[in-house]
Structure 1
Amino acid sequence: MSFAKLLAATTAALALAGVAHAQGAPPSLDLTLRPHASAGALDAVDVTLKLQAPNARPGENFLRLPMVFASVETARYEAADIQVTDTKGAVPLVQKDDPADPSNFMYFRRWQVARETVGDVTVRYKAPARAFRPRLGSGPPFDLRPEAGGVNGAGVTFLALPDTQKPFSLHLAWDLAGMPAGSRAAQSLGEGELRMTGPVELLANTYYMAGPMSSYPAESGGPFAIYWLGAPPFDVQAVASWTEKARTAIATFFGEPDKPYRVFFRKNPYPGTGGAGLLNSFMSGFSDDPPPTVEGMRHHLAHEIVHNWPGSLSGPNGIISWYGEGLAEFYSATIPWRAGLIDTDDFLAQVNERAQSYYGNPVNTAPASEIAAKFWSDTRVRKLPYDRGAFYMAMVDAQVRAKSGGKRSLDDLVKAMIARRDAGQSYDTDAWLSLVVAELGPQAKTEHEEMMAGKLLVPPSEAYGPCFKREDATYRVFELGFDAASLTASPRIVRGLVAGSNAAKAGLKEGDEVTEQVVLDAVQGKPDDTITLKVRRDGKDLQITYLPRGEALPGYRWSRVAEVPGSKCAI
C-alpha cells in the first residue's frame, strides 16, 4: 500500500527541522527505547522520554498518541499507564480523546498535566509488543510486534510524544541489554544512536527495528540499506540489489542522488502483503502464504520509493489521492524502464495489469468525493486512485509531449510542483491546475474536473510511446461476491452474499465467519488469481477457493508495435 498522507507529514517535519536548526538550539528531548522480555519472550518496549523544562500547565495538551492511524489500532495507553515525574515528584495526567474519525484514518488521545511541571520532566511507559493486533480495516501492518527474537514497528503506533509542533534537539538511544547477543537497532534515519533537530513527528513517523537482524549491505553505512529479522521466503539479495539500483535511478531523476532510503522487511501473521511509507523509508510486509515474488517486490518497492519526492498534495484524504498515488504508479514503472532495470515486456505487463484493475473495477466511475469513506474497507475503492491517477498522468504526459513536439513532458510539471513546495509555496490541486492549464490550455482544468467526477479515463493510443498501441479489450469485473466491509468487521461475518456469484457457487454462505485476514489489492489486477477464504460454519473450519470475477465489461489494453525497434521504446 502507498502512504502518501504520512509522507506529506514527514516532508513537512523535515522542512521544520531545517528551520529549527537555523534558529538555534531548541530544548532537548531524549528518547530511550529498551526492548523488554518476560520468561525469555520479547513482549514490550520500555520507553523513556526526558524533556528539558517543558513548563507544562493544566488545561494545555501535554502528550498525544493516535487512537487509530490508517485503520491500525495503536497502543491506546490509559493515563495510569504513563508515569510522569519532575523535580517535585509525580505529575498526575488528565486524559481526553478527540472525536472518533468515522473513516478510521486518524484521531488522537491526549493527556494534560493536573499541575504545572517544575524543571525537567521524565515520562515513562511500557509499549506492548503483540504477536497480532486485530485491525479495523485493511491498513498498513506496522503496529509494534515481536519477530524472530527482535521487535519492530512504526513510532506512530506506540510513541506517546509531546503534543506540540515546536522543534526539539532530539536524541534517540537504544538499550539492548535485554536482547540476544549481537543484536542491532535501526530506524528510518539510520542505525543505532541518532541526533537531529526538529519536531516530534520525526520520531513518530519513523520505523524502528531491533534484534538479531540482517542487513543489505552487510555493513550499512551508505545512503541505502534493507533490514530484516529471521529468514524471508524470497531471494532477499536479488530484491535488495535491484532496489538499490532503482533507488539510485529514481533519486537521480528527482535531483537528489544521495538522499538516504531504508527498507524494513516484516513478516505478516496472515496471508498477503502490505506496507507503509515513513520517513525516508518503507516497511514492506510479506507472508509465507503465498510467498512474494522477486518481480512483485520490485514494483512494490519502486512505487514506495517514488513517494519520497512528489508525496501528497495538501487537502482531504481521498480527494487528493489521485496525485501522489498516480505519480508513484506512473514513475515506478517508467523510471526503471528508462534506466534499463526492467525491459519493455515488463513495462507493458505493468500497464496492462493496471488496465485490468481499472477497467475491470465495477466502481471505476465513483467520484473522488466518495473515496475516503470506503478507502480502508473496500479494495475496489482503495485501488481506484492508484489506477485512475496513473492513467491521468499518462494522458497529461502524452498531451504535453504532443503539444511541445517532444520538448516537454509530465516530468517538467512534476519537478515544477516540487520546486514550488520546496520554495514554501502552495502544494495543492489549485497549484497543479495552474501549471497544467498554462501548459495545455483551459480544457486541462475541465478534464481534471471530469476525472474527479468519475469520468472513465481513456489514454490515447500513443500514451506510452511509439512502441505501443491501444486496443479494445474485455474484462470480467472484480467481484468479491459479498459485502467487502465483512472483511474489516470484527468478527468477519459474511454479509450481502450475491446469489449466483462465484463465491456462492463455491459454497460460501451468508453468516460464515472468515477466520483469517484476506488481502485483495494485488488480486484485482490479475484476472486468473483465485482467493481462498478460511471460514468457520457451525463449529467447523472450511476453506473456500474461487475466482473473484463477475460480468464482462468493455475496456482497453496496450499491445506491442512490432515494427518499432526496442531501442526507441522508452520515452
Structure 2
Amino acid sequence: MRLPCLSLLALASCLVACASEPLIAETPCPPAPKSVAPAAALPKAETNAPPVVEVRLAPTRDGASGAVAIDVSMRFSAPPVEFGETRPLVFRLDGARAEDVDELAARDAEGSLALVRDEGDDKDTTALPGWRAERRARGPVTVTYTRKIASTAGARPSALSATAGGFLGLGRAFLLVPETTEPHVMRVRWDVAGLGPGARAASSFGLGDVECIGPLTMIGDATFTAGIFDRMTVEKLLLQEGRGAVVTLTSLGRGAFDMFDVGAWASRAFLSVQPLTEAPLGHFELFLRSSGAAGGRFDLDIAGTGVIAVADEGRTFGWPEKRDLAWAMARLNLGLTVEAERWFDEGFVTYLAVDALRRAELVAPADLAGELDVRATRYFSSRRAHPDDLGMLFAAELDARLRAKSDGKRSLADVIRVITPKPGPHETGEQARVTVAALREAIGKELGAEGETRFAAVLVKGGAAPDVPGDAFGPCLTRVKKKVPQHDLGFDPASVAEKKVRGLSPKSAAAKAGLVEGDRITAADLGDGTIEKPVEVEVDRGGKLTKVRYLPRGENVDAFSFALAPKAPASCGAPRAR
C-alpha cells in the first residue's frame, strides 16, 4: 500500500514511536525505515503506477550578506496527462519575479526544452506568472534552476524568506509545479551542507527526506524550512473519546517563545477544538520564525493543514498569540467558509475557538473579559467597520439561544456541522464554500422563524445589534452596561479625495483640534476605523503646512460589555496548567 502525504499510517507510526513520552517528546519521530518507504511499493511491473516527481533541494547561504539561494532539481517521470499531445508544459511560481530565478534549464527525452516567460491569461486574474515550454514535452522532464531568496522584513508569515541563516516558506514560492491535478509519487531529497554545520531540513511532510503520494498541489501548499531549528512533537490522546492529536512545532533560528510552553498549551487547545467537526484533523503543525526585530508583532497565515507564524523578539506567549492560534486550529478543523464573509471566517470561528478554550479551562477569565471588552467597544463605536467583532458577538448570542432552547443539547457548533459538506475538511486544507442562505436556513430549523428573522436583521440587513445574554460566557463573567464614544471623523470623508475640508461638524473632535471648514488638504491618515487610533490631516493655509491630529470620538452611545463577575466561583482563577 502506498502512503498518502500526511497519512494516517504515518500518524500511527508516530504515536507508536512516541508512546514512551505521551506528553512531550523532542524530535520523537525519526524518518521511516527504508523498508516501509513508498518507493518499495512501486513495482516495475505495475502498469497503472502514478508518475513520479523527484525533487532535490540544496540551499546555500552567503556568509557575508546572509542571503540564501536554493538549487532546485525536479525530475518528472512523464509530462502530466493534462498536457497530452498538444499543450506545452506550463510551470507556475507564486510571488517570484523573473530575476529571482537563475540558470533555468529543462530537458526531456529529445534534448533541451526551452522555457519562456508566461504571464498568464489576461482574462484569468488568478493565474500566477510562470514559464511555458516552447514545444510539447516527451518522456521524462528535468528542470533545474536556482531560486534566490531575500530577507522579507514586514512581509506576510507565509512569504518565502531568508532568516536566521536558513529559509522558511511555501513550496509554491520556489518549486516550479506544473498545473495538474494528477496524483504523483513525490520524493523530496535534501542537501543542507551549504547552510553550515548543524543545519537540518523539514517540511509539512516530515523531517528530512520524504516520500508520499498525492496531487502536485500538495507539494506547492506544503511548508518547507532548512537551517538551524528546534523541532518537537506533543502527543495528546483522549482514550475515552477515541480522539487524539499530534502537534508539531518547528522554530527556525532563535525561538521567540519557549517551545515547551507553546507545545503543552497547543496540544490541549487542538484537542479542545476537535469536537467542532465530525472529521477533525489529527495533526497540527506550527512553523515559527523570528522577525529579527524587537516589537509587538505576531502574525500568522494558515498554510495547508498548518500555520506559519512570525513573531518579534522579546514577546511572550500570551493571550493574543493563544487566541490567534486557536482561531487557526478551529478554522482548519471546520474546513469551510460562508461565502468568505469576515463575520463568519473571523467572527464566528473566533467565538467557537475562544468558547472551546473557555470550556477546556485554557483561557484566564480576565483575558477573556479583556478580549470581549475590546471587541464590544470596537463594535459599538463603529458598527460597519468591524464585521469580525459583529460576528463574534452574534455567534455568542446564537450559541446561548440554541443551548437555552435545547436544555444544553444543541449548540452553534452542531448547526455548523449540519451544513458542513461531507466528508469534512480536506487534507489539503482547502475550505469548502457554504452559502449564507444555508446557514440562515439551518439556524431557522433550530430556532424557528424568529431565529431566521433575527439572523437577517443582524447579518444580512445589518441594522440590529447583537444581544448577548449575561451568562453566555459562563459563571466567571457577567454582562455590564457601558457608554462608548461613537467613531466620528468630524467631516465628510469625501473631502480627502476632493482635497478640501467640507461638512465639518462644529462640535466634533476635528473642529476642536483646529480643523477648519474649507482647509486645503495635502495629506491625510484617517486611522483604522476605531476610536483608538488618531486621525492626522495635513492642511495648507496660505502656503503654511499645518498638521491636525485627534482621536475620532463623537457622542457616547449605549453599549454592553463583559467583566469578571463580582461573586465568581473560586475556580475562576488562572487557566489550567499543562
Alpha-carbon shift at residue 87 of structure 1 (Å): 1.4
Alpha-carbon shift at residue 122 of structure 1 (Å): 1.2
Q: Which has the larger radius of gyration?
A: 2
CA distance in 2, matches of 1:174, 1:481: 59
Q: Does 1:302 align with 2:326?
A: yes
Q: Does 1:432 align with 2:439?
A: yes
Alpha-carbon shift at residue 268 of structure 1 (Å): 2.9
Alpha-carbon shift at residue 553 of structure 1 (Å): 4.7
Superposed counterparts of 1:399-548, under 5 Å: 399-418=401-420, 420-422=422-424, 427-450=434-457, 451-462=459-470, 464-465=472-473, 467=475, 468-476=477-485
Within the candidate set 182, 185, 203, 1:169 is matched to: 185
CA distance in 2, matches of 1:252, 1:265: 26
Q: Does 1:31 align with 2:55?
A: yes
- 1:84 counterpart letter in structure 2: A
1:299/1:568 CA distance change after superposition, 3 Å? closer
| Contact 2:338–2:345 (CA under 8 A) maintained in structure 1 | no
Q: Does 1:551 align with 2:554?
A: yes
- The normalised TM-score by structure 1 is 0.72
| Contact 2:93–2:177 (CA under 8 A) maintained in structure 1 | no
Alpha-carbon shift at residue 301 of structure 1 (Å): 1.4
CA distance in 1, matches of 2:473, 2:362: 18
- 2:371 counterpart letter in structure 1: Q
CA distance in 2, matches of 1:481, 1:142: 39
Alpha-carbon shift at residue 309 of structure 1 (Å): 1.0
CA distance in 2, matches of 1:186, 1:481: 53
Determine helix, strand or coil for the equivalent of 2:147: strand
CA distance in 2, matches of 1:482, 1:226: 49
Alpha-carbon shift at residue 212 of structure 1 (Å): 0.8
Who is 1:343 aligned against?
Answer: 364
Alpha-carbon shift at residue 240 of structure 1 (Å): 3.3
Superposed counterparts of 1:103-502, under 5 Å: 106-132=126-152, 140-217=156-233, 223-251=246-274, 254=277, 259-268=282-291, 272-288=297-313, 291=315, 294-313=318-337, 315=339, 317=340, 320-360=341-381, 362=382, 364-365=383-384, 380=385, 384-418=386-420, 420-422=422-424, 427-450=434-457, 451-462=459-470, 464-465=472-473, 467=475, 468-476=477-485
- 1:226 counterpart letter in structure 2: L
CA distance in 1, matches of 2:492, 2:229: 40
CA distance in 1, matches of 2:86, 2:436: 37
- 2:319 counterpart letter in structure 1: E
1:396/1:169 CA distance change after superposition, 3 Å? same
Alpha-carbon shift at residue 259 of structure 1 (Å): 0.9
Q: Which whole-Å deviations, capped at 9, do the CAs of 1:93-140 have from their partners, x for residues lacking one? A: 3413244888xxx542254322111101112232221112786xxxx3
Q: Which whole-Å deviations, capped at 9, do the CAs of 1:316-354 have from their partners, x for residues lacking one? A: x4xx33323223311221111111112323222222222
CA distance in 1, matches of 2:103, 2:380: 50
CA distance in 2, matches of 1:346, 1:394: 17
CA distance in 2, matches of 1:92, 1:228: 39
Determine helix, strand or coil for the equivalent of 1:261: strand
Within the candidate set 87, 93, 115, 1:60 is matched to: 87
1:549/1:423 CA distance change after superposition, 3 Å? closer
CA distance in 1, matches of 2:424, 2:74: 32
Q: Which whole-Å deviations, capped at 9, do the CAs of 1:365-415 have from their partners, x for residues lacking one? A: 3xxxxxxxxxxxxxx5xxx34222222321221221122132211121223
CA distance in 2, matches of 1:205, 1:75: 19
Alpha-carbon shift at residue 213 of structure 1 (Å): 0.7
1:294/1:423 CA distance change after superposition, 3 Å? closer
Greater shift in the superposed pair: 54-63 or 551-560: 54-63
CA distance in 2, matches of 1:147, 1:243: 24
Identity of aligned residues (%): 22
CA distance in 2, matches of 1:475, 1:267: 37
CA distance in 2, matches of 1:546, 1:241: 45
Could you tell me which runs of 5 or more consecutive residues in structure 1 were left unpaired when the two chains were aligned.
1-11, 16-20, 68-72, 366-379, 485-494, 515-519, 534-543
CA distance in 2, matches of 1:300, 1:42: 30
CA distance in 2, matches of 1:165, 1:423: 18
Alpha-carbon shift at residue 188 of structure 1 (Å): 2.4
Determine helix, strand or coil for the equivalent of 1:464: coil
| Contact 1:66–1:107 (CA under 8 A) maintained in structure 2 | no
Determine helix, strand or coil for the equivalent of 1:223: strand
- The normalised TM-score by structure 2 is 0.71
Who is 1:489 aligned against?
Answer: none
| Contact 1:100–1:107 (CA under 8 A) maintained in structure 2 | no
CA distance in 2, matches of 1:325, 1:123: 40
- 2:333 counterpart letter in structure 1: W
Determine helix, strand or coil for the equivalent of 1:441: helix
CA distance in 2, matches of 1:13, 1:389: 33
RMSD over aligned Cα atoms: 4.5
Alpha-carbon shift at residue 174 of structure 1 (Å): 1.9
Could you tell me which runs of 5 or more consecutive residues in structure 2 were left unpaired when the two chains were aligned.
9-41, 236-244, 427-431, 494-498, 537-546
1:172/1:460 CA distance change after superposition, 3 Å? same
Who is 2:112 aligned against?
Answer: 90
Q: Which whole-Å deviations, capped at 9, do the CAs of 1:421-463 have from their partners, x for residues lacking one? A: 5399974434333422221223444433341343353233236
| Contact 1:262–1:281 (CA under 8 A) maintained in structure 2 | yes
CA distance in 2, matches of 1:389, 1:189: 35
- 1:438 counterpart letter in structure 2: K
Who is 1:376 aligned against?
Answer: none
1:164/1:257 CA distance change after superposition, 3 Å? closer
CA distance in 1, matches of 2:128, 2:227: 30
How many residues are aligned here?
Answer: 487
- 1:121 counterpart letter in structure 2: V
CA distance in 1, matches of 2:152, 2:447: 50
| Contact 1:65–1:157 (CA under 8 A) maintained in structure 2 | no
CA distance in 2, matches of 1:293, 1:84: 46
1:310/1:36 CA distance change after superposition, 3 Å? same
CA distance in 2, matches of 1:149, 1:482: 50
| Contact 1:322–1:389 (CA under 8 A) maintained in structure 2 | yes
